[in-house]
């Protein structure tokens, strides 16, 4: 480049106008609040994403900083690699070793986050079962009895006459709690819930030696293997990733979901609303943000106390409005209908409304900068978990303990109420909130498809076999400030349902769908292909089923297992006409989730980027070779339409392998015929 060209480029860069808020998010509420934050000169992630670009080598996954001789940076040359790839770090680590080690550490962190959440739930469950806390009780005894055998816990005892009697429920709960908690520290054997997978899947894992021994053990072993000079074979590293990821999806996360259901109730469909417009100017607004329902459940109860409502009125408010951000939002939505305030990228913007009297946070996906944004308003940021404090800004810490949970929750709610009269800036709440239906646990899907007396996945399978439903898409995951907020999620899902693919959703994707009106049965008529629209109308369900938080991706695994069990679509998850997607992923948890879906047999496509592109060898292993081992593989497609069509192509490939591709052609002809008839 000449000096003149370089100058011109620099000037062009300087003159480049910052994007308009509408170019940063397709969600109108978010765009309005980005504009508002800029007017008030309150910096948010949307500004920082413009000011700072990501490291090019980190994005490729080939920067190694696992020892103090580096970081060793191995960028992929623009022209690609010709011949043998001779790039090496100081110790000789190849690009594939480095990329695999970085990938493995993401799996470890993600699995640790979910599983540590699960451990906390198991501890509280056990405390409730042992009656050591009065604030939590065993609520869903049916689910307790259903899962007890998976932990080897008997639910009957032999009576004096040799007949079987029901065992005492408290005894069952204590034993389930003890056995569940033991899955974390177990050193040998198998994480028992892995056996819930369809038999051929479990047998495959056994043959490959990847059934996890204990949840903590597999995560620790990743950290050991990725230390300098240990595991320097990318295939061997991926094998350990598989153990840890299965320990997450079929272990820590699955146990968390089950025990939460037993403590707080298994979700069933209910109505609510989503987006920043659920905040109320004349109410005390408490936004609960994070992940663990142990906290949010107590806050829901505390906020309903007449004494709290009276205190709110005394302070000049009309009442107390609870809402949620991130996965906590999904938890309290699914069980109580508490509205969704927003997803990951909206957490700072909720505070910018000036209407949030307290944002109560626990763990995961909480941006440190909410504290700085809150300092520009009256909002109190209340941290509650000893594992997650915030040093920036003026946060306060009210530690939440399962033994004094309700008292802690009351203190938090009181603090928020007392903050209501201190609002100083003009309140601006965007008037955007959409209706939704959420709460589709796999048990609820069973009920909705088959009815009370014959609940079953058979009608779903029948509709897949006859072609009205082309297949199943699991579309989940985060927002990512490196791509237009919510655009990938919505474009992909609309494309899938337009092509008759029913969608199961969790996490921030579920919140996006709620905001966009895709979680209502009425949306089927507007957005679905004729086959899926017909089924949704007949059954009265939305084309996109909200199944919960990210930990609840285990519900999707169980739904897939139920579909296999219902018959007619093969013997394993890998045979199903199904595909997974995380269009706007960003967290390490997403990598762990992606890997347990892949190794459970699911073709899984990520959007935005995947930090493996710096090593073509490792990339090809994930994107191609894993399919021959697990029947599922990774992929990365940034363009949302292409992304959706790769999922559809995979679904069609599976339909063909099952011999049901012809049925779909017939159905489509029937529909076309019908339309022609109608037109005539
Ligand atoms: O666990 S989807 S941004 S909130 S990581 Fe985080 Fe991603 Fe949202 Fe829940 Ni999941």
From the alpha carbon of 343, which atom of ligand 1 is closest? Answer: 8
pLDDT, greater one: 53 or 164: 53
pLDDT over 90 at 664, yes or no? no
From the alpha carbon of 291, which atom of ligand 1 is closest? Answer: 9
Which residue's CA is the closest to the ligand 1 atom numbered 3? 478
From the alpha carbon of 589, which atom of ligand 1 is closest? Answer: 5
Distance 508 CA to ligand 1 centre (A): 6
From the alpha carbon of 365, which atom of ligand 1 is closest? Answer: 6
CA angle 628, 645, 462 (to 5 degrees): 80
Distance 325 CA to ligand 1 centre (A): 10
Distance 326 CA to ligand 1 centre (A): 6
In this prediction, residue 73 carries a pLDDT of 97
Distance 28 CA to ligand 1 centre (A): 21
Q: What are the beta bridge partners of residue 274?
A: 340, 434
- 192-240 pLDDT per residue, tens: 999 999 999 999 999 999 999 999 999 999 999 999 999 999 999 999 9
Q: Distance between CA atoms of 16 and 23, rounded to whole angstroms?
A: 14
From the alpha carbon of 506, which atom of ligand 1 is closest? Answer: 2
Model-level pTM?
Answer: 0.95
In this prediction, residue 560 carries a pLDDT of 97
Which residue's CA is the closest to the ligand 1 atom numbered 4? 326
Q: Distance between CA atoms of 541 and 519, rounded to whole angstroms?
A: 9
Q: Yes or no: say if 477 and 594 are a contact pair by the CB < 8 Å rule.
A: no
Q: Token pair of 231, please?
A: 């595991």
From the alpha carbon of 479, which atom of ligand 1 is closest? Answer: 3
Distance 550 CA to ligand 1 centre (A): 6
Number of Cβ within a 10 Å radius of residue 203: 13
In this prediction, residue 10 carries a pLDDT of 67
Which residue's CA is the closest to the ligand 1 atom numbered 1? 550
Q: To test the ligand 1 pocket, which listed residue (111, 474, 478, 479) has its Cβ within 8 A of the most ligand atoms?
A: 478
With b meaning 16 or more CB within 10 Å and e meaning fewer, what string describes 520-551? beebbeebbbbbbbbbbeebebbbbbbbbbbb
In this prediction, residue 16 carries a pLDDT of 73
pLDDT, greater one: 453 or 484: 484
Run of H or E residues at 271: strand 270-274
Q: What is the percent of the chain with per-residue pLDDT over 90, rounded to a whole number?
A: 88
Length, in residues, of the chain: 680
Distance 577 CA to ligand 1 centre (A): 26
Ligand 1 shell residues, CB under 6 Å: 291, 326-327, 344, 364-365, 477-478, 507-508, 549-550, 587, 589-590
**578-582 vs 471-475, strand pairing mode:** parallel
Half-sphere exposure of 634 (CA within 13 A, CB side): 24
Q: Give the residue-averaged pLDDT of 361-366.
A: 97
Instruction: Return all residues near 112 (Cβ < 8 A) that are at least 6 apart.
Output: 219
In this prediction, residue 161 carries a pLDDT of 85
pLDDT, greater one: 674 or 274: 274
pLDDT over 50 at 258, yes or no? yes
Distance 317 CA to ligand 1 centre (A): 32
Give SS3 for 321: strand
- 403-432 pLDDT per residue, tens: 899 999 999 999 999 999 999 889 999 999
- 321-350 pLDDT per residue, tens: 999 999 999 999 999 999 999 999 999 999
Half-sphere exposure of 364 (CA within 13 A, CB side): 29
pLDDT over 60 at 670, yes or no? no
Banded model confidence at residue 487, pLDDT cuts 50, 70, 90: very high
Q: In terms of DSSP H, where are the helices of 550-639?
A: 553-566, 588-599, 616-620, 626-630
From 362, 388, 233, select the one nearest 290 (Cα to Cα): 362
Distance 559 CA to ligand 1 centre (A): 21
Q: Yes or no: say if 237 and 225 are a contact pair by the CB < 8 Å rule.
A: yes
Number of Cβ within a 10 Å radius of residue 452: 6
Which residue's CA is the closest to the ligand 1 atom numbered 7? 478
- 384-403 pLDDT per residue, tens: 999 999 999 889 999 999 88
In this prediction, residue 680 carries a pLDDT of 42
Distance 509 CA to ligand 1 centre (A): 9
pLDDT over 80 at 455, yes or no? no
From 522, 574, 551, 669, select the one nearest 254 (Cα to Cα): 551
The mean pLDDT of the chain is: 94
In this prediction, residue 450 carries a pLDDT of 66
In this prediction, residue 523 carries a pLDDT of 98
Distance 617 CA to ligand 1 centre (A): 29
pLDDT, greater one: 443 or 190: 190
Give SS3 for 544: strand
In this prediction, residue 557 carries a pLDDT of 97
In this prediction, residue 318 carries a pLDDT of 98
From 253, 319, 306, 263, select the one nearest 116 (Cα to Cα): 253
Q: What is the percent of the chain with per-residue pLDDT over 70, rounded to a whole number?
A: 95
């Amino acid at each position: 480049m000449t000096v003149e060209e370089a100058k011109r480029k620099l000037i062009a860069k300087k003159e480049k106008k910052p994007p308009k808020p509408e170019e940063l998010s397709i969600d109108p509420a978010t765009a309005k609040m980005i504009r508002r934050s800029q007017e008030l000169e309150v910096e948010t992630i949307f500004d920082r994403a413009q000011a700072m670009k990501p490291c090019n080598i980190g994005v490729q996954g080939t920067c190694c900083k696992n020892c103090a001789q580096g970081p060793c940076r191995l960028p992929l040359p623009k022209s690609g690699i010709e011949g043998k790839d001779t790039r090496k770090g100081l110790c000789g680590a190849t690009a594939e070793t480095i990329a695999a080690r970085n990938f493995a550490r993401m799996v470890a962190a993600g699995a640790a986050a979910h599983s540590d959440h699960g451990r906390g739930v198991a501890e509280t469950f056990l405390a409730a079962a042992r009656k050591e806390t009065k604030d939590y009780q065993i609520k869903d005894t049916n689910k307790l009895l259903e899962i007890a055998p998976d932990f080897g816990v008997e639910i009957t005892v032999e009576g004096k006459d040799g007949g079987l009697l029901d065992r005492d429920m408290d005894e069952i709960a204590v034993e389930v709690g003890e056995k569940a908690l033991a899955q974390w520290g177990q050193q040998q054997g198998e994480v028992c819930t892995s056996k819930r997978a369809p038999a051929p899947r479990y047998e495959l894992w056994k043959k490959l030696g990847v059934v996890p021994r204990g949840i903590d053990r597999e995560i620790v072993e990743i950290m050991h293997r990725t230390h300098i000079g240990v595991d320097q074979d990318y295939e061997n590293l991926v094998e350990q990733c598989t153990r840890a990821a299965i320990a997450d999806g079929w272990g820590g996360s699955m146990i968390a979901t089950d025990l939460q259901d037993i403590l707080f109730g298994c979700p069933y469909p209910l109505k609510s609303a989503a987006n920043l417009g659920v905040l109320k100017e004349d109410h005390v607004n408490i936004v609960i943000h994070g992940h663990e329902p142990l906290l949010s459940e107590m806050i829901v109860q505390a906020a309903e106390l007449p004494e709290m409502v009276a205190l709110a009125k005394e302070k000049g408010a009309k009442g107390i409005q609870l809402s949620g951000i991130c996965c906590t939002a999904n938890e309290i939505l699914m069980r109580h209908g508490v509205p969704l305030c927003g997803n990951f990228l909206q957490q700072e913007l909720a505070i910018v409304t000036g209407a949030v009297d307290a944002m109560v946070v626990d763990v995961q996906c909480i941006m440190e900068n909410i504290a700085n944004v809150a300092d520009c308003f009256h909002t109190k940021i209340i941290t509650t978990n000893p594992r997650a404090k915030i040093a920036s800004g003026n946060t306060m810490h009210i530690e939440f303990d399962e033994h004094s949970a309700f008292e802690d929750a009351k203190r938090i709610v009181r603090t928020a109420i007392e903050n209501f009269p201190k609002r100083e800036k003009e309140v601006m709440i965007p008037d955007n909130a959409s209706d939704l239906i959420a709460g589709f646990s796999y048990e609820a899907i069973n009920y909705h498809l088959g009815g009370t007396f014959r609940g079953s996945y058979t009608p779903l399978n029948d509709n897949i076999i006859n072609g009205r439903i082309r297949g199943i898409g699991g579309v989940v995951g985060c927002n990512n400030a490196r791509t237009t907020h919510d655009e990938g999620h919505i474009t992909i899902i609309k494309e899938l349902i337009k092509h008759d693919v029913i969608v199961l959703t969790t996490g921030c994707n579920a919140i996006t769908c709620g905001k966009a009106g895709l979680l209502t049965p009425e949306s089927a008529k507007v957005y679905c292909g004729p086959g899926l629209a017909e089924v949704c109308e007949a059954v009265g369900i939305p084309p996109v089923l909200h199944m919960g938080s990210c930990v609840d991706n285990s519900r999707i695994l169980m739904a897939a297992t139920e579909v296999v069990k219902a018959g007619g679509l093969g013997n394993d998850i890998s045979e199903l006409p199904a595909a997974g997607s995380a269009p706007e992923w960003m967290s390490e948890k997403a990598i762990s989730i992606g890997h347990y879906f892949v190794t459970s047999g699911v073709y899984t496509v990520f959007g935005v980027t995947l930090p493996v592109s710096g090593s073509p060898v490792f990339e090809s292993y994930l994107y191609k070779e894993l399919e021959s081992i697990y029947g599922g593989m990774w992929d990365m497609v940034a363009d949302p339409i292409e992304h959706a069509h790769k999922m559809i192509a995979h679904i069609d490939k599976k339909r063909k392998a099952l011999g049901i591709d012809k049925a779909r052609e017939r159905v489509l002809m029937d529909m076309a015929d019908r339309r022609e008839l109608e037109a005539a």
